[in-house]
Structure 1
Amino acid sequence: MIELVFIPSPGIGHIRSTAEMAKLLVDNDDRVSIFIIVIPARNVSSGDISSACPRSGSRLRYCFLPTRDQSSNDPDQTYISYLESHKSTVRRTVCIIARVSQGRLAIVVEMFCTPMIDIATELCIPAYTYFTSNATYLGLMLHVQHLHDEENFDVTDLRDSDTELDVPALTRRLPAMCLPSVMLSKEWFPNLLRRAKTLRGTKGILVNSLADIEPQAFKFFSGEDQDTPPLYAVGPILRFKNDSDDEKGSEILRWLDEQPPRSVLFLCFGSMGGFTEEQTREIAVALERTGHRFLWSLRLVSPEEIMAGTIPGDCTNLEEVLPEGFLDRTAETGKIIGWAPQVAVLENPAMVEELGLAAEIRREYRRDSLLGEPEIVTAEEIERGINCVMEQDSQMRKKVEETRELLRAALLDGGSSKAAMRMFVNDVVKNIP
């Protein structure tokens, strides 16, 4: 038996995703026992976090680090420094687990928690990464880091350029204007470079994808001349069973059950996906114009809060934010919520868009503040995108159906996802001293 110590980033979404990955590994391979060290997110209780995780068992256990006194939180503390402040506690916990497991131990760090890999280095423990995004973005990260370190080419210099880049993980040239903001920001790019170099130094990377969905990216990583660790395509990691256990989630799913199949547009932008009141009104106007049914996870954030990187909150004053009369006019076709049981919603027969197969609204849109004030996307632009997604006989819908079948096949016994998990465990066994 080998012990894997998973260390996810703080935040329920990160913890839940990592815990589901761990559960699949345990269910798929009886050689594995897993311990998940949970670093609390600021202003989130340990009870909220524990309720979001799959149940523990004899081979899947949790260590919930204590939540600190919120009054002592430094408002100017960065995400990285917050992680650093927990290193000593995590190190002590890993040492205890190592003694119990008699040294048959490896560490798996979630992609936004890479500073914890220092602990594995100090203790001479093999380290792996769980990359919750797709392989194409991983390839882009490593490529821009290669350009910077090996070819002395800094992509942040392309901020206002119309240059197009050759990226090996992509099938076509990438306009510089389409690079993520973190790659064009002089302030934030060094953090990305450090993360990319850390990833290169690990023993392997578990990625939430599969080769049939991203053939070009996996071709890039499989090249013999690539200075990258092995990639294990263990995706899709989708089924978070605790998503809809509470009353709020059940109410949302009951509403969806009442809608015709393939008729509902789901608007949900993740834990950091909040918008200003101005942008929210543009979205509302577009939704009403299209006439399509919708489920909207609406969260607000002011321009000042965007600049500060504040996590958006649920909207409590809908009548003041939305166009006058919007709620009455859309009462029969739409539902506005705050929190959303995302996976359970996407599994409902009334959903049409999944897994990033989407219509382009504006290629160079910048919602975040890394490159200045957030932009406003107009109602007309949003309306065109919605109509493209909701066309009954569109190529996009056909592509979604094809992708769904590939994902289902990957999770079957003998499928590519389970095979990749076993390859990963075999590699861990080989790397443990």
Structure 2
Amino acid sequence: MTTTRKKSSQTQLVFVPSPGMGHLISTVEFAKLLINHDHRLSLTILVMKTPQDTLTSSYTHSLSSSQRLHVITLPQPPPNPDPNNSSSSITTLVDSYKPYVRDYVTTNIVNSNDSPRLGAFVVDMFCTTMVDVAREVHVPAFVFFTSGVAFLGLVLHLHTLRERDNVDVTELKDTDTEFVIPSFANSVPAKALPSTVLYKEWVPFFLSYVEGLKKTDGILVNSFDELEPHAVQSFSDNNNYYNNIPLYPVGPILKIEDKEGDDVRDMIMTWLNDQPSSSVIFLCFGSMGSFEVDQVREIARALEASEARFIWSLRKPPPKGLNIRAPPSIYTAQELVEVLPEGFLDRTAEIGKVIGWAPQAQVLAHEAIAGFVSHCGWNSTLESIYFGVPIATWPLYAEQQTNAFELVKDLNLAVDIAMDYRLDFKGESSSVLSAQKIEKGIRDLLENDEVRKKVKEMSVKSRETLNQGGSSYSHLGRFIDYIVD
């Protein structure tokens, strides 16, 4: 019997992204970048889903597998018996997928005569438990970190403070305590720290997740040297403190081309085409962002008082009381009338557009856009910088408060509506931002020429860094050479 020999000229990477569209899209775009960068690589992406996930399947079906890029949706494990235990849900879910990842890799790659040799695992920042599977099959494991370098330094530092010095950050969350973090140029107030270190129920998750980061063979970060020079330098200056983890800033990794047209997209782009250059404020709060009625009305009053042209992605919050937040939905036309101040849509019909879903990258790329009121998710931040659009910060959850602080205080690439606004894990906020505060942020966004100039300069750098000779291009080559050789 004859057997097919392995294609020794190629090296295969297995990617394991976290469940959720934000992480999956970044992973797919990074995979495309790698195979375009070096013909010696082939990639398999193993997709996990949460039981509530309704978006991933349609996205993965839209992807066309090629000879060097395979997207595999894994079977779903039995459901978590306690789906509302948010602190352990992501850990439990990822752990439950380990046998499926192990079986796929062993059967289809390690023991397959037709598969290129396995070179490494690249796991998402929240999937570090999958490093165990990489060790079992004797390959290196890297983390793909879908936030910035400063935030990476922050979580490593806080983990060390907790483990070495027994500092309990949860006891300081409502104080004015500030932390000196090597990856930040300014002291970071407790109110700007990520939710996972401020809430006691999330401490076990935080500790195991960062412990996993420290065990990897290197961390690939969706950022670039020119954007976060202080943070990148801090890894050279404090490498013992960061466990001597090799750092590879390889961003910005973005999904910026989406040519599929539909009626909603066409309507939005047609409306923008009719607006003057650099005149429109875009409000959009990510795939999970929504507000209760009181806050929606304050935003509407702020927009009307500012007299700015606007396009506002406004969506309906999920039902109350869920610890695991379901995604928001689209308002009906009648619900929109009821949730907004009386007559708002009629009074602003000439200068504004209230929409549900938004083609974010296409909107930010449009010359009519002057500024972006954003939740400061890292993908949105990178898109805004890439297209040269300044941000007004309005973080909601996760690490967005930390991103907002970095953008305003360390990088001077954004203005401040709020930096410490926070939704809890039920999607509720203890405060309502006033129309006056929001209006001030919108005016600052339109009038701060220094921030606008810095963002335009950084936009140019973000477009050059992945070209041959750029810093991210070099880091990418260094990573590939390590894997292949």
TM-score (norm 1): 0.91
Q: 2:338 — aligned with what?
A: 320
**Contact map agreement 1:243 1:343 (CA 8 A) in 2:** no
Work out whether 1:93 is the aligned partner of 2:104.
Answer: yes
* Offset of residue 40 of structure 1: 2.9
The one-character-per-residue Cα deviations of 1:337-376 (angstroms, maximum 9, x if unpaired) are 2222222222221223424532112333222348985321
Work out whether 1:426 is the aligned partner of 2:436.
Answer: no
| Farther off after superposition, 76-85 or 278-287 | 76-85
The one-character-per-residue Cα deviations of 1:185-228 (angstroms, maximum 9, x if unpaired) are 11112212211111111111111111111111101112243414
Q: 1:360 — aligned with what?
A: 416
SS of equivalent to 1:336: strand
Distance change in 2, residues 1:408/1:304 (3 Å):
same
Distance 1:367 1:79 in 2: 18
Distance change in 2, residues 1:402/1:422 (3 Å):
same
Q: What are the residue-to-residue correspondences of 1:368-383 with 2, within 5 Å?
A: 368-369=424-425, 373-383=429-439
**Contact map agreement 1:16 1:240 (CA 8 A) in 2:** no
Q: What are the residue-to-residue correspondences of 1:387-398 with 2, within 5 Å?
A: 387-391=443-447, 394-398=449-453
Distance 1:213 1:48 in 2: 33
Q: 1:37 — aligned with what?
A: 46
Distance 1:245 1:40 in 2: 27
Distance 2:163 2:177 in 1: 20
Work out whether 1:250 is the aligned partner of 2:262.
Answer: no
* Offset of residue 284 of structure 1: 1.1
- 1:301 pairs with one of 288, 312, 317: 317
**Contact map agreement 1:277 1:302 (CA 8 A) in 2:** no
Distance change in 2, residues 1:210/1:367 (3 Å):
same
Q: CA RMSD in A?
A: 2.5
SS of equivalent to 1:108: strand
**Contact map agreement 2:77 2:97 (CA 8 A) in 1:** no
* Count of residues paired in the alignment: 427
Between the two proteins, what is the percent identity of the paired residues?
43
SS of equivalent to 2:362: helix
* Offset of residue 66 of structure 1: 4.2
Distance 1:303 1:382 in 2: 26
Distance 1:89 1:181 in 2: 30
Counterpart residue type for residue 166 of structure 2? N
Distance 1:333 1:305 in 2: 36
SS of equivalent to 1:129: strand
| Farther off after superposition, 117-126 or 289-298 | 117-126
Distance 1:73 1:182 in 2: 22
Distance 2:419 2:118 in 1: 48
Q: 1:407 — aligned with what?
A: 462
Distance change in 2, residues 1:372/1:325 (3 Å):
closer
Counterpart residue type for residue 57 of structure 1? S
Work out whether 1:341 is the aligned partner of 2:359.
Answer: yes
TM-score (norm 2): 0.82
Distance change in 2, residues 1:256/1:66 (3 Å):
farther
Work out whether 1:28 is the aligned partner of 2:42.
Answer: no
SS of equivalent to 1:160: coil
Q: What are the residue-to-residue correspondences of 1:60-209 with 2, within 5 Å?
A: 60-66=69-75, 75-76=83-84, 78-95=89-106, 96-100=108-112, 101=115, 103-209=117-223
Distance change in 2, residues 1:236/1:52 (3 Å):
farther
* Offset of residue 75 of structure 1: 4.6
SS of equivalent to 2:156: helix
SS of equivalent to 2:431: coil
| Farther off after superposition, 327-336 or 118-127 | 118-127
Distance 2:77 2:268 in 1: 33
